[in-house]
Amino acid sequence: MTRPFLPALPITILSQNADAIRTALHTAMKKNSCLKAGPEVLIRQATDTPSQINCDAVEVMIADPDLAAQIIPDCTNLTWCQSTWAGNAPLLNGGKTDYTLTALRGVFGPLMREYVFAYLLQHARNLDGFAEQQAATPPRWESATRMPLRGQTLGIIGVGDIGKALMPVAQSFGMTVIGVSRSGNAVKGVERMYATAELHQFAQQADHVVNLMPDTPGTYGRLNEDFFACLKPHSIFINAGRGNAVDDEGLLSSLDKHHLAHAVLDVFTQEPLPSSHPFWRHPKVTVTAHTAAESRPADVASVFLDNATRFAHGDTLLYQCDFAKGY
């Protein structure tokens, strides 16, 4: 049954970007002031410090999951938390489940496309090789080895909202797309889907692999040396999903054994990545600082306000997380 419309919605913001999110909300609400469908959003608390939150006053919250996890057990009146992240392991594994948790989705696809294909093209067109030739003394005019993407197979582990965003670009380059999901059910535009139990068969068919798996106990260490041994010597592995899905030692060993050509890593089990970690100096590893697809305050505001209208009308919220599944 739909509840009566809520004309006002008091909220709490707990985020490293609290001030920027507050500004983005005000900007978006002014821009959409002519739209009367949504409630008036009243920002009661906005901070980056969990200890400053009055937990008893929290009913609706926009929050970074790592910060929210510190106070949510004490937020007895919480009904809805809008995360600022795509992944929400700190909250999904936090024990408290008597509220609605919504993820930040529908905004990361374009950024992830840029990240993934920047590195695939870097290797396909051997940009590093040409840079070395230009920097040599004297410079060398040589036809460096290239392996264009056309005709190759891109494997996507985790064909969700972000994974699907890669498909049109891959197909525009003439690539075939295969994928992995928990169920292995068919996905439109994907040549073949595999269940997570079929990772090795999937790896044998892929030229390049992008991991976008969610952070769940069932994914920990699944991408190990046995998995990497199934790849091709020219394969590029890109991890922009979760760091703990990768067995670091297994990946390093596989690179040294030439089971794959290169690894591009944006996420790690420990962040920041310790300066002593061998990934930093391995010639076949590219490290980026968890920047593949970052959330922007304007995106957080947009997703929240859309859901706030649904919440005020008693409708089902978009991008709800499933505590039982862990994503």
Residue 286: closest CA among 258, 253, 264: 264
Three-class secondary structure assignment of 241-276: CCHHHECHHHHHHHHHCCCCCEEEECCCCCCCCCCC
Q: Do 311 and 60 form a contact (C-beta atoms < 8 A)?
A: yes
Residue 241: closest CA among 215, 263, 278, 220: 215
Joined tokens for residue 110: 């374009």
| Rounded Cα distance, 74 and 58, in Å | 10
- Say whether 258 is catalytic: no
DSSP 93: T
Q: Within the chain, how many helices (H) and strands (E) appear? A: 10, 12
Instruction: Point out the catalytic residue in the list 22, 123, 222, 242.
Output: 242
Instruction: Point out the catalytic residue in the list 290, 296, 310, 313.
Output: 290
Measured at the CA of 165, the angle between CA 325 and CA 226, to 5 degrees, comes to 60
- Say whether 313 is catalytic: no
| Rounded Cα distance, 235 and 206, in Å | 8
DSSP-assigned letters across all residues of 61-82: EEE-HHHHTTTGGG-TT--EEE
Q: Do 123 and 146 form a contact (C-beta atoms < 8 A)?
A: no
Residue 79: closest CA among 56, 99, 105, 103: 99
Tell me the one-letter amino acid at 236: I
Active-site residue list: 242, 290
